[in-house]
Structure 1
Amino acid sequence: MKVIELHHVGFGVNHAQADAMLDFYRNVLALPQDPSRWKIPGIYGSWFNLPNGTQLHILGCEGVSQYAKGPDQDPVSNHFALAVENILAAEQELVEQGIEYFTLDNVASPNLKQLFLRDPAGNLIELHQATARTAGVAVNEQQTGPSANR
Structure 2
Amino acid sequence: MPIKVLELHHVGFGVTNAVAEEMRDFYAGLLQLPQDATRWNIPGIHGYWINLPNGTQVHILGSDGPSPYAKGPGKDPVNNHIALAVEDVLAAEAELIARGVEYFTLDNVASPSLKQLFIHDPAGNMVEIHQKNERRPGIAKESAASNG
Give the TM-score, by structure 1 length. 0.94
What secondary structure sits across from 2:33 in the alignment? coil
Q: Distance in 1 between matches of 2:133 and 2:29?
A: 31
- Indicate if the aligned counterparts of 1:44 and 1:61 stay in contact, CA closer than 8 A: yes
Q: Distance in 1 between matches of 2:94 and 2:81?
A: 22
Instruction: Among all aligned residue pairs of Structure 1 and Structure 2, give the percentage whose two residues are the same amino acid.
Output: 63
Aligned to 1:22: 24
Q: 1:2 to 1:144 in 2, by over 3 A?
A: closer
Q: Identify unmatched segments of 5+ residues in structure 2.
A: none
CA RMSD of aligned residues (A): 0.9
Per the TM alignment, residue 142 of structure 1 is displaced from its structure 2 partner at its CA by 2.2
Q: Distance in 1 between matches of 2:41 and 2:19?
A: 19
Q: Distance in 1 between matches of 2:115 and 2:123?
A: 24
Q: Identify unmatched segments of 5+ residues in structure 1.
A: 146-150
Amino acid at match of 2:102: E
- Indicate if the aligned counterparts of 2:134 and 2:145 stay in contact, CA closer than 8 A: no
Aligned to 2:92: 90
Q: Output one character per residue of 1:39-77: Cα deviation in whole Å (capped at 9) or x when no partner.
A: 000000100100100000000000100100111100000
Q: Distance in 1 between matches of 2:143 and 2:95?
A: 32
**Runs of 4+ in structure 1 over 6 Å off:** none
Structure 2 residue aligned with 1:44, among 46, 69, 81?
A: 46
Give the TM-score, by structure 2 length. 0.95
Aligned to 2:70: 68
- Indicate if the aligned counterparts of 2:133 and 2:144 stay in contact, CA closer than 8 A: no
Q: Distance in 1 between matches of 2:141 and 2:81?
A: 22
Q: Distance in 2 between matches of 1:9 and 1:82?
A: 9
Aligned pair count reads 145
